[in-house]
Amino acid sequence: MKYHNSLPFVRLWTGNTASGLATWALPFILGLAVLERSLSAVDLGIVLAARTAGFLVAVPVAGVIADRHSRRRVVLWAGLIAGLATPLIAAGMGRSVLLTAAAAAVVGVGQGACRPAFQALTAEVIAEDRRQQANAAMTLAVRVTTLVAPGLTALLSQVASTPALVIGTGVLWLGTALIPPRGTFAPAPTGTRTRFFGEFADGLREARRHPWFLAGLGALTAVIATGYSATGVVLPLVSRDRYDTEAVLAGGLTAYTLGALAGAVVIARWRPKRQGWAALIGLGFYGFAPLSLLFPVHPALVIAAYAVAGLGIELFNVPWFTATQREVQPGKLARVSSLDFLFSYGLAPAGLAFIAPAIDAFGAAPVLAVCAIVCFAAPAAAALVPSSRDFRATAPIKSV
């Protein structure tokens, strides 16, 4: 992949990758703390829930702030907040669950604040004709991170204490704060600003101006809240009870990541004629994951289904991010992106909370069947919206 402005992109990519590595490494490190008994399993749940809560609170606020101010400055402060709060997680482990959870919530705030700002900063730093490649390269880094973070964490745990590893994620957050390049966005003059809720509502109106965005976000939310949540709960059970081995669980998760890596590589170069439809078809591929768990098939088919699901999710994600950066008004991009992260990330824990009781009440098979149907049907329904064909508005947008 080549870029006209390679150094700004490398800085952007490095900062974004540092934030991804810090985000994905922390749960594994805290899992090691459970094994060492400096945290209990209940404590771990509280700490991770606090981090998620901080993320969800920060995302919509950060969307508004990043459209008011320099996106680069928002990334700076978000990284600093997360980086400076991280040592407090280490300080509280084994001593105070309240301190650990409070610090994790602050880290979640930093994590949530940087996400919409990074999305908008990408549109500033990368020329439009290079953004799909840039988004593919950044999502490739995220998938590599999820693949290597557990093993890397386990390896480092042999030479460093768990508190030191936690502090190491804080160093990554400081890199997130300091490395990315300056953008080109010029915020609106102070006199034209309205109150927070008015500006957030303005972002909602901008999102409604793009029917393809609402349709795609609805489909993505449905897939995450049902298929992603169901497979997260059922795959470990199926691996244990049906196949009597943890290899299916490990193989499925690894295959999903490898499929996503392949999807990122493919979509970096591939330009389908109807990009929106192709992306929604890719999103629908996730339905094969719950479908494979529904029947007593050979383990290889389960692993293959997860690989296909991973492939499809990146065939959706990269064009989706690229279209949002292209179609949404630059002055409202962070707010619209915050809606994306709020619903897609926010519905994952909500889905997990409902899936387990549903399985207890109705059994795994009916729940998996419903989830598979939703994963296939939601993207198909989104594709019926005319502008979803190309993820493009019928009329060109005007910059503000």
Q: Look at residue 188 in the predicted model and tell me its pLDDT.
A: 64
Higher pLDDT pick, 29 / 349: 29
Higher pLDDT pick, 197 / 180: 180
pLDDT confidence tier of residue 400, bands split at 50, 70 and 90 = very low
pLDDT greater than 70 at residue 78: yes
Cβ neighbours of residue 239 under 8 Å, at least 6 residues apart?
245, 246, 247, 248, 249, 252
Q: Look at residue 190 in the predicted model and tell me its pLDDT.
A: 56
Digit-coded pLDDT (tens) for 358-393: 888 888 889 999 999 999 999 999 999 999 999 987
Q: Look at residue 303 in the predicted model and tell me its pLDDT.
A: 94
Cβ neighbours of residue 363 under 8 Å, at least 6 residues apart?
none
- On whether the 204-389 domain is CATH 3.90.550.10, my answer is no
Q: How far apart are CA 132 and CA 138, in angstroms?
A: 10
Domain 6-180 class, CATH top level: mainly alpha
Q: Look at residue 144 in the predicted model and tell me its pLDDT.
A: 84
Region 9-36 average pLDDT: 88
pLDDT confidence tier of residue 398, bands split at 50, 70 and 90 = very low
What's the mean per-residue pLDDT of the chain?
A: 87
pLDDT greater than 80 at residue 151: no
Instruction: Pinpoint the alpha helices (H) of the chain.
Output: 6-35, 41-68, 71-92, 97-125, 131-156, 162-178, 196-208, 211-223, 229-241, 247-269, 275-284, 288-294, 299-327, 333-362, 364-383
For the chain, residues classed under CATH 1.20.1250.20 are 6-180, 204-389
Q: Look at residue 399 in the predicted model and tell me its pLDDT.
A: 42
Q: Look at residue 356 in the predicted model and tell me its pLDDT.
A: 77
pLDDT greater than 80 at residue 348: no
Region 80-85 average pLDDT: 95
Looking at 39-53, 214-228, 338-352, which range is the least confident one? 338-352
Cβ neighbours of residue 160 under 8 Å, at least 6 residues apart?
168
Looking at 129-133, 168-172, 284-288, 384-388, which range is the least confident one? 129-133
pTM for this prediction: 0.86
